[in-house]
């Protein structure tokens, strides 16, 4: 039995709530901002970008109206420059490093939106900046068509490889399509970018192919010159509390995937929602629940704001959407017959630092209380595909993450390379893109030297 | 209280800020709005036999996001009949007796023509006459404007014709399109002119349209060179003003300073270098008459702060400080200093010094810090790092006493013989 889905909002409200949180810059705004850039020498923003885009250079090109050149500078370093422009946590990366932060009360350059301005230009004008080199006769298999896999595939194809991508789902994009918040990026853009990446040729994506299930990784290792794994991470771990199986309890990843691939009015959301966890995923789930029409959204976290893993930008988004944070609170029980009716929580206090260096939350005896909610969204991070990974003979893991050489992305199996969330435990899109790029270069180096 | 009233060769105005002869002064309506805003005087848009202008008349250069750093025009003198202009001058003068109204004139190079227009101008009640020997385009092809201004003999000749009939002060407006500005200035003085004003616009082409390949401003499928003015020309104008003011034979020749003046600071600089008053065109074309408010206010506050009671207290104060290079002290030494607390680590000083100067800045970098420091023994004190630094007072030039007395180039040569 499932809950009946009644659209909560009008079409216009859905559109408004899920429109760009960072709308594109107009030409005038872009020029004003581009001209404000100091064009620093050895600029800290370049270093802060995991893909090391030459930011002052692409901004200078915007100022001279050389948009094609600007987009080239961006995308040579980061083939998903368009996505990253929209979704990167710029506050803690490039913009956080801008020297303007060193001037009291001055604002850093709006690098993310300038990057979008330059990359939008080539998508809107259908300008292909890249050309694949002559086929070099080598073949590589890529597992997973997320940012890591696609970035790796693009670079390899550029270098002349024939690439076959094995993707579990029926669409490419990974979390670009299923995970990123809908108010940051549209499916239409994700598809356009993937089309852009694959249109240089030499890349074949095989859909509905789950390696470890209908494809054997040993076969791939035997029949290809190299294999890249970019499978990302799996579900959210279980809470292990009573009532977790009730109707109305969701995994944040599934909840977001659902709203990314279905029409918004078809997405089920209750009136009062409790999101468990305070990472970026938790915030994305909370804000989108609110934007779907939930009346009240709690974000329940067992530690305090100081320990919260979400970054400041995401945190502010949640405040703007009027989500309520319940700090030092831990769920103990979900209550209901078939459907969720309430959640029982207990108050916590901070004790001694634990292995993560953060102070350990300890329950305060007899401080349980009830919150009336009809939806619970679990957002405790994602667990890695240990079932699949541990079966690969000779592959070394570290806490479920694939161990790699950080320069070449080579794993303990010489022909096997890896990158993205499956090696770092879940970082950002931009890290996955960089890993994929480095792995392609690592593979090239292994094969040709 | 400071007194900023001005008396320029007998022409009185409540402040030294005049509108230059140009579109902002081309009719009664404009000039009166300018006076309402507070301008002390106006030099009427040049009057002569009416001309016909092209459409598409101005073009400009931008720098970064700053628009109109310099503008260029291919407009000619007034397109309205002489009698209309003179009638309006009379009317303005009647309504605004305390403001200066000067008529700018340009007619063909014939004595009778000049005598006639000068008399009619006096009848209209103008406070003075400015002779436009400067316009570098259009009029010069007809033997007027800079065609006169570029030949000192012609300047002298025509100025003489004017002075011999004029009962009001005569100001000769000079063209900068000449190798040495002191020649036409001396010619004006010789003719008995009461003052010079400078600069008129500089011959220029501001740019070329990259799609049609036609330079700007585009008139159909062609353009023409025009006259350049605005903030970008200020340094050229300042030098020309200073070279007249410091010329031994022109020490007493009053100067009306023009060229790129946008603020009270610019105006003060012109006056320090010898201008008795100033005229403004481009800044008004950019922002409107209202800018005079801060010019007046800023000037007063500055004078008060410096203890000057009237304009004459500071006019010309810097004239003696412009010397020939050969008189400068070779033993004067400054070096750059970077205030590490203010440095924002943009690296602009480093790369400028490294690529374009004397490799006198060191760059230290590790995982946690970046540091730019002056290598004092390599620093020649060129000021480049200070100029590129985006932070106020972060890089300062500090004097070093090298323990040697004043030595100029001649002394140096003597010593190293
Ligand atoms: C809710 C959420 C919000 C996020 N928001 C942001 C954000 O705003 N900004 C940001 O920069 N980052 C964000 N991230 C992080 C970012 O999405 C990831 O870091 C990035 O997508 C990782 O890329 P990846 O290629 O390693 O993995 P994924 O994107 O997960 O792609 C893995 C691909 O592999 C496929 N696959 C998995 N197993 C197999 C198999 N066995 N065989 C074949 N194919 C397989 C999957 O179907 C998928 O297509 C967010 C993540 C989440 C979960
Ligand atoms: C559009 C335009 C028209 C001008 N017309 C005249 C003119 O008719 N007579 C004249 O003497 N100077 C004329 N000038 C020159 C100005 O009076 C002034 O000398 C010059 O613009 C420099 O000052 P500025 O930098 O403040 O503009 C004109 C300038 C401009 C921009």
Task: Please name the residue that has the structure tokens 């106020």.
Answer: B392
What's the CATH superfamily of A249-378?
FAD/NAD(P)-binding domain (3.50.50.60)
Contact residues of A toward B, CB < 8 A: 31-32, 35-36, 38-44, 63, 99-100, 102-103
Same structural domain, B83 and B204: yes
Angstrom CA distances, B369 to A93, A109, B25, stand at 17, 21, 58
What's the CATH superfamily of A139-234+383-448?
FAD/NAD(P)-binding domain (3.50.50.60)
B33 with B91: CB under 8 angstroms?
A: no
**Would an 8 Å CB–CB cutoff place B350 in contact with chain A?**
yes
Q: How far is the CA of A422 from the centre of ligand 1 (A)?
A: 9
Nearest chain A residue to B390 by CA: give it.
Answer: A38
Tell me how close the Cα of A73 comes to any Cα of chain B, in angstroms: 21
Tell me how close the Cα of B65 comes to any Cα of chain A, in angstroms: 6
Task: Give just the sign of the alpha carbon dihedral A16, A18, A22, A28.
Answer: negative
Whether residue B344 and residue A99 make contact (CB cut-off 8 A), yes or no, is: yes
Ligand 2 neighbour B349 (Cβ under 6 A) = no
ipTM metric: 0.87
- Residue A80 and residue A83: Cα distance in Å, rounded? 5
Three-state SS at B196? strand
pLDDT of residue A52: 98
Which of B135, B229, B343, B349 is an active site residue?
Answer: B135
Same structural domain, B354 and B314: no
Contacts A103 to B, Cβ<8 Å: 344, 391
Nearest atom within ligand 1 for CA of residue A173: 49
Per-residue burial over A14-48, b = 16 or more CB atoms within 10 Å of its CB, e = otherwise: beebbeeeeeebeeeebbebbbbbbebbebbbbeb
pLDDT of residue A3: 66
DSSP conformation letters of A159-208: TT-EEEEE-SSSSS-THHHHTS-TTT--HHHHHHHHHHHHTTSSEEEE-S
Same structural domain, B377 and B303: no
- The answer to whether residue B385 sits within a structural domain is yes
**Residue-averaged pLDDT of chain B:** 96
Residue with CA at minimum distance from ligand 2 atom 1: B73
Same structural domain, B25 and B96: yes
CATH code of B122's domain = 3.20.20.70
pLDDT of residue A4: 67
Contacts B65 to A, Cβ<8 Å: 31-32, 35-36
The model's pTM: 0.92
Same structural domain, B182 and B242: yes
Same structural domain, B168 and B305: yes
Ligand 1 neighbour A50 (Cβ under 6 A) = no
Residue with CA at minimum distance from ligand 1 atom 17: A175
The minimal CB distance from B348 to the residues A32, A41, A63 is found for A41
pLDDT category, B205, cuts 50, 70, 90?
A: very high
Same structural domain, B289 and B355: no
Same structural domain, B66 and B14: yes
**Class assignment of domain A22-124?**
mainly alpha
Work out the average pLDDT over B151-160. 95
**Would an 8 Å CB–CB cutoff place B65 in contact with chain A?**
yes
Domain that holds residue B346: 327-415
Whether residue B348 and residue A31 make contact (CB cut-off 8 A), yes or no, is: no
On the question of pLDDT at B160 being above 70, the answer is: yes
Point out the domain boundary residue: B303, B321, B339.
B321
Numbered ranges of CATH 3.50.50.60 in chain A: 139-234+383-448, 249-378
Point out the domain boundary residue: B321, B353, B383.
B321
Q: How far is the CA of B380 from the centre of ligand 1 (A)?
A: 56
Numbered ranges of CATH 1.10.1060.10 in chain A: 22-124
pLDDT of residue B138: 80
Which residues, in sequence order, are bridge partners of residue A339?
Answer: A247
> Residue A65: which residues within 8 A CB-CB, separation 6 or more?
none
Same structural domain, B206 and B345: no
The minimal CB distance from A40 to the residues B64, B347, B363 is found for B347
Tell me how close the Cα of A99 comes to any Cα of chain B, in angstroms: 6
Same structural domain, B394 and B297: no
Examine the residue annotation and report whether B135 is marked as an active-site residue of this protein: yes
Q: How many domains does chain B have?
A: 2
Nearest chain B residue to A42 by CA: give it.
Answer: B347
Interface of B with A in 183-212 (CB under 8 A): none
A33 with A114: CB under 8 angstroms?
A: yes
Pocket test for ligand 1, best of A180, A233, A260, A427 (most atoms within 8 A of CB): A180
Point out the domain boundary residue: B300, B321, B342.
B321
Ligand 2 neighbour B132 (Cβ under 6 A) = yes
Size of interface A-B (CB pairs under 8 A): 35
Same structural domain, B169 and B53: yes
DSSP conformation letters of A238-281: P--STTTTSBTEEEHHHHHHHHHHS-GGGS---SEEEEE--SHH
- The answer to whether residue B1 sits within a structural domain is no
**Would an 8 Å CB–CB cutoff place B348 in contact with chain A?**
yes
Residue with CA at minimum distance from ligand 1 atom 9: A87
**Tens digit of pLDDT for each residue in A260-285?**
999 999 998 999 999 999 999 999 99
Ligand 1 neighbour A432 (Cβ under 6 A) = yes
**Tens digit of pLDDT for each residue in B44-89?**
999 999 899 999 999 999 999 999 999 999 999 999 999 999 999 9
CATH code of B393's domain = 3.30.70.20
* Half-sphere exposure in the Cβ direction for A355 (13 Å, CA): 0
**Would an 8 Å CB–CB cutoff place B391 in contact with chain A?**
yes
Residues in chain A predicted with pLDDT less than 50, given as ranges, are 1
- DSSP-derived letter for residue A415 is T
């Amino acid at each position: 039995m499932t809950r009946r889905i009644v659209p909560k909002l009008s079409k216009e409200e859905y559109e408004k709530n899920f429109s760009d949180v960072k709308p594109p810059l107009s030409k005038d705004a872009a020029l004003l901002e581009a001209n404000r850039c100091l064009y620093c020498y050895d600029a800290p923003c370049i270093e802060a970008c995991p893909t090391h885009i030459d930011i002052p250079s692409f901004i200078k090109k915007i100022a001279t109206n050389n948009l094609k050149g600007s987009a080239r500078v961006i995308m040579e370093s980061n083939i998903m420059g368009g996505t990253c422009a929209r979704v990167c946590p710029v506050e803690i990366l490039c913009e956080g490093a801008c020297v303007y932060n060193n001037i009291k009360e001055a604002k850093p350059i709006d690098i993310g939106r300038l990057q979008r301005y330059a990359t939008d230009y080539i998508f809107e004008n259908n300008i292909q900046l890249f050309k694949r080199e002559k086929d070099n006769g080598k073949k590589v298999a890529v597992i997973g068509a997320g940012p890591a896999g696609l970035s790796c595939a693009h670079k390899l194809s550029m270098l002349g490889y024939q690439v076959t991508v094995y993707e579990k789902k029926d669409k490419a994009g990974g979390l670009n399509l299923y995970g990123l918040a809908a108010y940051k990026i549209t499916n239409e853009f994700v598809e356009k970018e993937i089309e852009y990446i694959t249109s240089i040729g030499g890349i074949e994506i095989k859909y509905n192919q789950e390696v470890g299930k209908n494809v054997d990784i040993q076969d791939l290792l035997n029949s290809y010159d190299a294999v890249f794994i970019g499978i990302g991470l799996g579900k959210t771990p279980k809470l292990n509390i009573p009532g977790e199986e009730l109707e109305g309890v969701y995994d944040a990843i599934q909840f977001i995937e659902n709203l990314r691939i279905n029409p918004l009015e078809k997405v089920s959301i209750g009136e009062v929602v409790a999101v468990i966890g305070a990472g970026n995923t938790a915030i994305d789930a909370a804000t989108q629940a609110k934007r779907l029409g939930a009346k009240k959204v709690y974000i329940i976290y067992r530690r305090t704001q100081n320990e919260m893993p979400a970054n400041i930008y995401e945190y502010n988004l949640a405040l703007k959407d009027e989500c309520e944070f319940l700090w030092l609170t831990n769920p103990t029980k979900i209550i209901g017959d078939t459907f969720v009716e309430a959640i029982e929580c207990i108050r916590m206090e901070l004790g001694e630092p634990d292995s993560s260096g953060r102070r350990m939350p300890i329950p305060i005896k007899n401080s349980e209380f009830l919150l009336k909610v009809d939806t619970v969204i679990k957002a405790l991070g994602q667990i890695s595909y240990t079932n699949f990974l541990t079966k690969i003979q000779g592959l070394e893991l570290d806490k479920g993450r694939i161990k790699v050489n950080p320069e070449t992305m080579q794993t303990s199996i010489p022909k096997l390379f890896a990158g993205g969330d499956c090696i770092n435990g879940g970082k950002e899109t931009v890290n996955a893109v960089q890993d994929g790029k480095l792995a392609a270069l690592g593979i090239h180096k292994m094969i040709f030297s | 209280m400071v007194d900023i009233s001005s008396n320029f060769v007998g022409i009185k105005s409540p402040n030294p800020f005049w509108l230059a002869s140009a579109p902002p002064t081309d009719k009664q309506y404009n000039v009166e709005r300018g006076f309402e805003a507070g301008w002390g005087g106006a030099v009427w848009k040049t009057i002569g036999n009416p001309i016909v202008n092209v459409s598409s008349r101005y073009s400009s250069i931008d720098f970064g996001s700053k628009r109109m750093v310099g503008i260029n025009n291919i407009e000619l003198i007034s397109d309205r009949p002489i009698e209309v202009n003179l009638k309006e001058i009379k009317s303005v003068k009647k309504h605004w007796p305390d403001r200066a109204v000067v008529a700018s004139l340009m007619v063909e190079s014939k004595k009778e023509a000049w005598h006639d227009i000068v008399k009619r101008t006096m009848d209209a009640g103008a406070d003075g006459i400015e002779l436009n020997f400067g316009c570098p385009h259009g009029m010069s092809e007809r033997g007027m404007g800079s065609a006169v201004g570029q030949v000192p003999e012609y300047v002298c000749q025509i100025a003489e014709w004017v002075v011999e009939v004029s009962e009001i002060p005569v100001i000769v407006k000079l063209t900068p399109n000449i190798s040495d500005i002191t020649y036409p200035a001396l010619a004006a003085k010789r003719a008995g002119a009461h003052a010079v004003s400078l600069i008129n616009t500089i011959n220029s082409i501001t740019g070329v349209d990259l799609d049609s390949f036609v330079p700007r401003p585009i008139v159909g499928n062609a353009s023409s060179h025009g006259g350049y003015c605005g903030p970008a020309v200020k340094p050229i104008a300042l030098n020309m003003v200073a070279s007249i003011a410091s010329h031994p034979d022109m020490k007493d020749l009053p100067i009306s300073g023009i060229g790129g003046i946008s603020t009270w600071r610019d105006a003060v600089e012109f006056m320090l270098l010898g201008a008795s008053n100033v005229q403004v065109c481009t800044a008004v074309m950019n922002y409107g008459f209202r800018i005079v408010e801060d010019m007046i206010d800023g000037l007063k506050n500055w004078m008060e702060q410096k203890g000057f009671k009237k304009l004459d207290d500071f006019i010309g104060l810097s004239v003696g400080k412009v010397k020939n290079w050969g008189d400068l002290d070779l033993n004067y030494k400054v070096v750059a200093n970077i205030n590490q607390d203010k440095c924002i680590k943009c690296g602009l000083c480093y790369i400028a010094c490294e690529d374009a100067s004397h490799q006198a800045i060191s760059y230290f970098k590790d995982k946690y810090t970046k540091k730019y420091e002056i290598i004092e023994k390599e620093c020649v004190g060129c000021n480049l790092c200070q100029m590129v630094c985006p932070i106020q007072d972060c890089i300062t030039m500090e004097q070093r006493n090298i323990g040697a007395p004043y030595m100029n180039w001649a002394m140096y040569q003597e010593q190293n013989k």
